[in-house]
Structures are given as C-alpha cells and as structure tokens.
Structure 1
Amino acid sequence: MQMNFLLVKEGLDPTITEKEVKAMPISIFGFQALWSPFFIVAILFLITIYFLITVKWRKDFKYSEPLKRKEATFFMIAMILLYFIKGSPLDLMGHIMFSFHMVQMALLYLVVPPLLILAIPNWLWESFLSLPVIKQVFKFFTRPIISVVLFNLMFSFYHIPLVFDTIKLSQTLHGTYTFVLFIFAIFMWWPLINKLPGHHQLHGLKKVGYLFADGVLLTPACALIIFANNPVYATYSDASIWLESMKLCVPVGTLSGLNLSGPELFSSLPVLEDQQLGGVVMKIIQEIVYGIVLAKIFFQWFKKEQQDADKITEAALLEKAELHPIQSK
C-alpha cells in the first residue's frame, strides 16, 4: 500500500515491479539537494580570497613571492574536488549509500589536504604559522607520531556504529567533526609534504615508514566495515533513522513532501554488500594515493642520488687535478 502510494504520488505506474522501483532517480530531492548552490558560493568565495591574498595583496606581507602556476593549479583542483565531494550529487548519494560515503571520506582526507598544502605558497604558510597560538598548536600536532596516530584514531572513532549514527543525525555534530577531522588530515600530511624550514619534515625511508604506519592504522576501521556479518549503521539500514539523517543534505520541506520507505528505493545493492564495498573502496583509494606518493618519494631519492654521485665525481676529478696539475694538463 505504501509503495503504491509513493508511485502514484510520483506519477509512476503502480504496476511497476519492486525491482524497477529501486532505480528511482535522486532528482526527486530537488536542485538544492543535488547541487548545493550555497556551497558553490562558499567555494567561489574561497577562490576569490586565495587569489586576492596571493596576487593583489601579497605586497602587504613582509616576505612574499609571485604566485606560481603550479600552486594556483593545485588550489583550483582542490576546490573543484571539494565541491565534487560536498556539493555535487555525490554528497546526496553519500547519505543514501555507504559506499559513496566512503568515496567522499577517501577524497576529502587523502587527496584534498596534500593539494591544499602544496597550493598555499610557503611565504603565506610562514605568515600564518608565525601567529603565537597557531605556531604552538601546529608544531605540536604535526609531530609525525602524534599526527598519524591522532588522525587514524579520529577516523576510526568516527566509524564506530554508535558514534557514526549519532553524528549523522546532527547537523552541528556532523559539520564540526568533518571540519576537525579535515584539520587533522592536514596535520597528518604535513610531515610528508611541507618544505618549510624549522617544521617537522620526514626524509627518505622515514617517509616510507610513515606511510606504511598510516596504512596499518587505518586498516582496523576498514576491516570492521568489510568483515561485518550484518549492517552496522542504522543510518543506512533503518528506514526511519535514514530519513532523519537525510535532513543533513535535503531541505526539510522537500523531504516531508516525499513518502520514502528507505534507501533501497535508489539502489539494487543490498545494505550489507554496500557497506562492505565502502570499506574496500576506502582501502583501494588509500593504496592508490599512497602508491603515487611512494613513487614520487623514490623518484626524488633516485634523483638526489644521481646528483650526489655527479658531485662526488666532480670533486674527485678536481682533487686529482690539484694533486697532479701537470698530468691533468
């Protein structure tokens, strides 16, 4: 009866089978839920501020350099990704299917932070980090062991079922935890990416060990999700709780005008399989990102070794010429 009511309300044929109903388009949630126009404004504001500071206002800083094309490119990629993650239909799907949520998590915490670190010029980082309170906080939380452990603890704590469902039902808690976890993701990436003198930096094999530790620490949370025998998140398996959590991305007026029985209307994938897929996707994206970083680390190491070898050879030839000036002629 409820299903037929929904089909009639949406102008569909009540004789459509349940399997066909599961392909219901997410467009029924409206433009605002799909494309987040307010978030577009926020992204445009951030882009404007970035270019004003790094181009027009940079002379107001004691030490500054012209904005590099590479830095501007990294920033624009980060902003486009940020909108794709939190403003596009991906965000809506992340509230319907857990696998999409994990795609969001992987991109938001493993891809965007290093791009932002590289996008902000060093002189701007130095100006920001010279502020008294910021300097002390940043120096403490970017210590390699502290940064990698705290980020993974916060990520794992977030995915404890009771914590996850509680956060997903509160706009304030969800926004706050997402922002704080993003800051800790920046802390986690900082020792690997930054090149500021006087700040925590890792070199050579220490970078490899750091990435390995990061991957190991993230594994338990993913394993809990992948190997669970039952759906563990009520916000994806319980229809009434799922509807409540949808208020985070769908206007209440729009949601109240729909008669939805649950997330199964929008996906043919069973809840448990969707949950397991989410854990797998998170690990795959992590391995891809870390693989790219490792490749860059080995390339830099090889390049440095070649440069050092050339310097050693040049120094040896110079020394030989000084010891045997006649023979060298």
Structure 2
Amino acid sequence: MVLGTVVGEAVLRITPPYGGVIVVVLGGLFYFRLVPRVASRLGNSPDRVRLRDVVSPRQRKQFLAGLVILALMESWPSLELARYVSSLAYLTHTMVIELVAVPLLLLGTPNWLWHKLTETPFVDALVSLLTSPILTTILYSTVFTLSMLAIIVQAQATSLVVYVYLQVVFVIAGVLMWIPALRLNPGTRKLSTGGRVFYLFAQSLLPSFPAIVLIFAHHSFYPIFATNVHLIFGISEIADQQLAGGISKVIDFGILWTVAIAIMNRAQKQEDLGADPEPITWLDVEREFKRAHKGTST
C-alpha cells in the first residue's frame, strides 16, 4: 500500500519530459540531418541538399505528426500512467505507438531512403525475411501477447532499462508489421490490394485473444496497477482491465480496418481512372535486378 501511495502521488506531479526530448532529438537528427546527407550522396545530386528538395510537404507533415505523437507518449502523464497506474493506459500507450506513430513516421520517410539503406545484400536479405507477411504477423502477435504478461508489465514499471527496451521492441514490431501493409518493402514482390486488406484484418484479429482474457477476467493480473488505478481514477483494477481489453480492440479494429477500407477505396479509384492501383517503381525493378545478379553470380 505504501508503494502504491508513493507511486500514485508521483504520477500527479509534473515531471520533465526527458523521454519526449530524446525522441524529438533522435527523430530530428534522422530526418533533418541524415536524410539530406544521404540524398547528397546519390547520383547527380549537388553537394548541399535541403530537406524540402527531397521530401514532399505531405511527407514532412506525416513524419512530424508521428514524431510529436511518439514524444507525447514518452512524456508525462502518458508515460507515468502507462508504467504505474492503469492497464487501459498501458495498452493504449502501446497501440498508439504501434498503430499511429509508427505508420506516420514510415509514411513520412521517403521511399528512396528505404532503398538506399537496405541496398547491401545482407541487409536486403534480412529485411526481406523479417517483412514477409507470415513472419511479421507472428512477430507482431507475439510481441503484443508477451507485452501483456504480468512479469513484463511489472518489470517495465520497476526498471527503466526494461521499459526503454520494451519501447524499442514496440517500435520495431510496428515497423515490421506496417512495411508490407504500406508496400514499403523494396522490390517487386509486394502484397496486392486484396492481400494487404487480408493482412490488416489478420493483424486486427490474432492479437484479440489476450484482450478477451482481460475482458472476462475476474481477478487482477497486474499488482502494480491494482492499487494505483484506484488511487488516481477511483475504479477497481478489474474494471480497468475490462476497459483495457474492450477499448484496445476498438482502437485496433478501428485503425486497421479503416486503413484496409482506405486501401480498397484508393485502388478502386485508380482502376476507375485507368491507372495501375499497384504501381511498381524503377527503384523496385532495380532492386530485383540486383537480387537476380547476386543469384547468378553465386
């Protein structure tokens, strides 16, 4: 009870957003320094390249939106609520990172940069393996399920190192999951429109089982939340767990199914205009040429 009281009082105090600052600094260095530097080393590029010359305004807005959301998730009060207080806050925190911040960051990153960073044969083979739809589905579902285990929740609350590692794992799992859905994997072997829709439906359904367990549980799984959620919000941990399970599925279905419907609508509009709904760029073709050359040379 003493620990719960101390933690509860600590959550009510505004703390410096160290995590958010770190996220903004790292994201800013990547976007405003690395992207122009890589662009300047491409063929026929000037020595000095400005970000606005190689990234569209829409991409900049998407990346900055994702960066701001991620920074907010790693700052007070989101961070403290997710670590110490509430199952609902914990799951919402995780899903906002994986389903909102990560895809915005990916969409805001220029496609040519993905091709440049993955052009070496080893990295290309590794990315191709990790972004295969079956493997990403397994990895994403596994990470989501393991993150809800009581031992993991307790460890991230009591150890900052574990918490940081867990956030990195969430981001990586989100990146791998979204790459096939957004057709960001280099090369011509991408999911079709129907494949992307089915893939997103699978991502929304498979992690549902842990959420169902929370909805129908009759006892508290997370001791760290049991006292603090009542101190802060005045509800029981059982009610908090049930809300966490129900609302997490609403968020999950809402985002992934909305994206799936948007993909189908966009493909239909492209077909109505006589355009290819699944275009292949020269960068994709070039990557396949390199893979074929590597295969024949070996």
Identical pairs, percent: 21
Q: 1:168 to 1:115 in 2, by over 3 A?
A: same
- Structure 1 residues not aligned, in runs of 5+: 10-21, 240-261, 311-329
CA displacement, residues 163-206 of structure 1 (integer Å, 9 cap, x when unaligned): 43234332222221321232122111111103455165211211
Q: 1:143 to 1:88 in 2, by over 3 A?
A: same
CA displacement, residues 18-61 of structure 1 (integer Å, 9 cap, x when unaligned): xxxx9x7944x3433xxx14532441342243122334662123
Corresponding residue of 1:279 = 245
Corresponding residue of 2:25 = 44
Out of 256, 259, 271, the position equivalent to 1:305 is 271
Contact 1:117–1:194 (CA under 8 A) maintained in structure 2: no
CA displacement, residues 229-248 of structure 1 (integer Å, 9 cap, x when unaligned): 111112212x5xxxxxxxxx
TM-score with structure 1 setting the length: 0.72
Task: Letter of the 1:270 partner, please give it.
Answer: S
Contact 2:38–2:113 (CA under 8 A) maintained in structure 1: no
For 2:197 and 2:76, the matched residues in 1 are separated by 34
Q: How many residues align?
A: 264
1:114 and 2:103 correspond:
yes
How far off its partner does 1:215 sit?
A: 1.5
Q: 1:305 to 1:176 in 2, by over 3 A?
A: same
Structure ranking higher on relative contact order (CA contacts 8 Å, 6+ apart): 1
Corresponding residue of 1:225 = 214
Corresponding residue of 1:288 = 254
What is the DSSP-based 3-state SS (H/G/I as helix, E as strand, rest coil) of the residue aligned with 1:308? coil
For 1:178 and 1:73, the matched residues in 2 are separated by 23
For 2:68 and 2:171, the matched residues in 1 are separated by 16
Task: Letter of the 1:49 partner, please give it.
Answer: F
Query: RMSD of aligned C-alpha atoms?
Result: 2.7
How far off its partner does 1:208 sit?
A: 1.7
Contact 1:122–1:196 (CA under 8 A) maintained in structure 2: no
Q: 1:182 to 1:57 in 2, by over 3 A?
A: closer
Task: Letter of the 2:75 partner, please give it.
Answer: G
1:76 and 2:60 correspond:
no
TM-score with structure 2 setting the length: 0.79
Contact 2:94–2:170 (CA under 8 A) maintained in structure 1: no
Contact 2:15–2:76 (CA under 8 A) maintained in structure 1: no
Corresponding residue of 2:175 = 186
What is the DSSP-based 3-state SS (H/G/I as helix, E as strand, rest coil) of the residue aligned with 2:274? helix
Counterparts of 1:1-329 in structure 2 under 5 Å? 26-27=11-12, 29-32=13-16, 36-37=17-18, 39-55=20-36, 58-62=39-43, 66-94=54-82, 95-195=84-184, 197-198=186-187, 200-237=189-226, 262-308=228-274
For 1:287 and 1:175, the matched residues in 2 are separated by 27
Q: 1:66 to 1:273 in 2, by over 3 A?
A: same
For 2:250 and 2:132, the matched residues in 1 are separated by 27
Contact 1:117–1:186 (CA under 8 A) maintained in structure 2: yes
Q: Computing the radius of gyration over CA atoms, which structure comes out larger, 1 or 2?
A: 1
CA displacement, residues 268-288 of structure 1 (integer Å, 9 cap, x when unaligned): 111110111111121111112
Q: 1:199 to 1:276 in 2, by over 3 A?
A: farther
How far off its partner does 1:162 sit?
A: 3.1
How far off its partner does 1:97 sit?
A: 1.6
- Structure 2 residues not aligned, in runs of 5+: 46-52, 277-298
Contact 1:63–1:123 (CA under 8 A) maintained in structure 2: no
CA displacement, residues 111-159 of structure 1 (integer Å, 9 cap, x when unaligned): 1221121111011111111134432221111000110111111210221
Q: 1:306 to 1:172 in 2, by over 3 A?
A: same
For 1:197 and 1:42, the matched residues in 2 are separated by 26
Task: Letter of the 2:62 partner, please give it.
Answer: F
Contact 2:20–2:73 (CA under 8 A) maintained in structure 1: no
